[in-house]
A and B are shown apart, each in its own frame.
Chain A
Amino acid sequence: MNLSKNEFTSLCKRSLRGKGHHWGICEDLSNALLALALNRFPAPNILLEALNTENGKLIQIFSIVDSKAYEASDKINGKFFDPILILGLISVHRDLKIPSLEVALDNEVFILADNLIIGNRSYSRKQINTIAFCKKEPNDIVKHDFVTRVVIDDKTLKAIEYWSNLTYAPATEQSRNLGAGSEISDND
């Protein structure tokens, strides 16, 4: 199945919310995952990884974008879970007027140039201890096209939907009667 960008971000937001993340976290992670998806990273699988990570462990990566640590620091040490997400978060957050950015997740190097995320698309480390940043001359960057759809297999979709379905209130007669239009006949 292929999803529109709107459908994918909606799926991300709902499933992360279903997992119990706060709304603001859901919004930012969804944008990050979309950025990864458009750059041909396996975003549905990355989302699934995030859904299988304890919520509290993901929070630390937000300090890097909120404080713009990627602009001010060369290197940050800590325990970073699902580190690939940081690429999406910075890609969405960074000021595109500043030079390209090289991000090393432990020893794996990625480049963020404009909206591009360039690097090993099969990268899947669960936890790292060091993130390094350096400015990068844009001359030698090989650019790629963005995709406009997010391909997702049925098994992964089903696993994600388990979480998103938790955000919907169960269908009850009482609730049905509270829906708009339940009061009178629709026919005129």
Chain B
Amino acid sequence: MALNFDDKISETDVTLRPAEKVMRLSRLGSFHQSRLSFLRILLRRISTERWKFTRKVFDIGADSSGTAVYTYQLSERAYSLIAFAHKISDNDRSDRVIATKWDATFTLFDGIPSKMDIDRLKDNVPNQEAGRVSEKEITLSRANKSVRLWDYVVNCLSNGKQPDIHEIEKVGYMMRTTAVYGSGKFGAVDYKEISDRSEFSTPFQAEMLTVYMIRAFVIDLLQHAAKVKNPNKYVQLEPKFCEMLGVGNSTGLGMAPFLINHPQLLNNWICAKEKALARIRGLKAPKKTCVALFKNYIKRSNYLIESWNSKHDLQAVKLNELRRDKVILDDYVEKFSFNAPHPFNTLYEWAEETLGEEAQELLVSLILEPFGELIDDLSHGMSDTKQFTAKIEGSMLVGELLKKTEKHYAYALKINWDNSENNELAWYVSEEKLEPRLGNRFKEKGIELYEQPLQPSRDVARMHFDLSKWENNKSIAEFLMKHPEHRHIIRRCQIVFNNPYAEIQDNTISSDVIPIDLLRAKLSFFGAFHFDPRSDRWVRINMFKGAPLPQTLDDKNCDNWTYPEQTAT
């Protein structure tokens, strides 16, 4: 999905938002889910293609450990979630990569597993990174209970009562995943081997499918625990409560490097969203039904904001600002005339001048919501199957590379790299279960030796320094023979020159970088809600909260759930 900075969307006069505005960490860290998020795309596909959901196996014992299998049957193939439930002690429960035990472990199986498959996986999936799966498996995952809510709800149900809605709202999930591995990890099938299947043509569809099926399993496991506790008195959880429960996710630094390591993919995601926004801003007279729907979503989004809690200072400040801005936005939309030409462009421009980034990005997601017919096709361009194989154009001349670098990386060249604060952090991987970490290079002696290439701004500046000593008419091939240390960054620059949203336009090793901004950008594209940072490098979120369950998902409710109409009473 290559485009140039100055490209205009053909059907409109509205240019795309410039990369220097969109690709700042503070804005990326303010992104919200939208109808172009991956889990939204998945639910639309499941309902449109009428996939059939069944529970094939539920062999769970009185101690809530055992095996379950859930299958989605498509027209030509099937996918099964194989779930293993475990009994673990509270002391063993950790969301970190270095954990070795979990309340439940999962794999997404390509087809319907035989008993032999399940036996093989029983020996491996519970061990996660220490086990091996095969080409028959697509993802590998695990989850931990929200102990407090789990025990509370099991107690309520086993006593024949429904839980208090406010207690459910406070947490929003019964289990949270702590990793969903795909793309060939630990022996699973490579993404490239399945990327030609239409259901996986959009990124992370297998991972989203895994989480969606985990949600169904968790509700069954919960009700099973209540039944075991008091078989004569227990009641099922009411459907409205089931739908209120999403799947939590606990995400640390491992996700942050992904966006830096996949520049082309990042460009494609952002580009799809920016094109969608530009298409709608460019509508001279949008349909009245869409305008009415937009106004409706503006109102309904308040519930989502009200139920969004975070005790972390970083997010608490942003939430306060969002709540304040949302009042201003609601008031403005109430009085706004959508009969004037290009109303969404006017509205967006007003928001950019008036509101903070959290509210601006919420507005972007809300603007996209009613216009599925106009923008949903953009999801087809969000993949990138050529990742890591970008070729270096060695025939490019030094003069051209310099000129383009100065245009696209002006922000990086302005940074004083001799200032230790601008160069303080180093991304590295620990030998301890290969956990990704971010350390202070001046305090953690020796970590520089293990530094990952996750600081494009600094590396560009170093490359530019060496390149500027060369004659303009020399080729990059010649330069690289003398300076092979710049090979990775030159490849990256050449990607960025044609894909402006490929680069995060900030310093990723500065003392004041906030890694969760990177996490949130990626998680918003997954479709996550309720970002709740636990520190500057670890965030909890909720996925599928409010979504229909597989048993009730259809083409009427597959999209109309993200801004629920009801409020907690």
Contact = CB atoms under 8 A, between A and B. Distances in A.
Contact of A68 (B394, B435, B485): B394
B171 interface: yes
Interface in B473-496: 475-477, 480-481, 484-491
Interface in A168-188: 168-171, 174-176, 178-184, 186-188
Given A168-B434, A169-B430, A181-B94, A62 B480 contact: yes
B564 interface: no
B113 interface: no
B429 interface: yes
Interface in B134-151: 135, 144, 146-149
A72 to B, nearest CB: 10
A27 interface: yes
Contact of B487 (A23, A170, A187): A23
Nearest to B535: A183
Interface of B: 90, 93-98, 135, 144, 146-149, 171, 183-193, 250, 252-254, 388-389, 391-392, 394-395, 428-432, 434-435, 437-439, 444, 446-447, 449-450, 453, 475-477, 480-481, 484-491, 515, 534-535, 537-538
Interface in A1-34: 2-7, 9, 22-25, 27-28, 30-31
A4 B149 CA distance: 39
A24 B96 contact: no
Given A6-B191, A66-B392, A175-B447, 10 more contacts: A4-B185, A4-B187, A5-B192, A22-B485, A23-B453, A24-B486, A168-B430, A169-B428, A179-B430, A181-B535
B47 to A, nearest CB: 31
A24 B391 CA distance: 11
Given A24-B489, A67-B394, A183-B535, A92 B96 contact: no
B450 A169 contact: yes
Contacts of B187: 2-4, 7
A5 B183 CA distance: 9
A59 interface: yes
A165 interface: yes
Contact of B148 (A5, A65, A184, A188): A188
A111 to B, nearest CB: 21
Nearest to A148: B193
B interface SS class: mixed
B184 A179 contact: no
12 contacts: A3-B187, A5-B184, A6-B183, A7-B184, A24-B484, A24-B491, A62-B484, A68-B394, A148-B193, A168-B430, A179-B437, A182-B96
B430 A6 contact: no
A129 interface: no
A167 interface: yes
A68 B252 contact: no
A93 interface: yes
Contacts of A179: 96-98, 252-253, 430, 435, 437
A65 B491 contact: no
Contacts of B489: 24
A184 B488 contact: no
Q: Which of B183, B190, B395 has the most CB of A within 10 A?
A: B190
A24 B490 contact: yes
Contacts of A187: 90, 93, 147-148
A165 B388 contact: no
Given A7-B185, A178-B439, A188-B148, A169 B447 contact: yes
A135 interface: no
A4 B477 CA distance: 32
B157 to A, nearest CB: 20
B481 A63 contact: yes
A22 B184 contact: no
B94 to A, nearest CB: 5
Contact of A165 (B431, B437, B488, B534): B431
Contacts of A63: 477, 481
A139 B24 CA distance: 52
B438 to A, nearest CB: 7
Contact of B475 (A23, A31, A67, A176): A67
Nearest to B186: A7
Q: Which of B93, B135, B254, B435 has the most CB of A within 10 A?
A: B435
Nearest to A35: B389
Interface in A110-157: 148-149
Nearest to A7: B184
Contacts of B146: 188
A66 B477 contact: yes
Interface string A91-107: 01100000000000000
Contacts of A92: 389, 391
B484 A4 contact: no
A67 B395 contact: yes
A22 B429 contact: no
A151 to B, nearest CB: 13
Contacts of A186: 93-96, 144, 250
Nearest to A180: B252
B96 A180 contact: yes
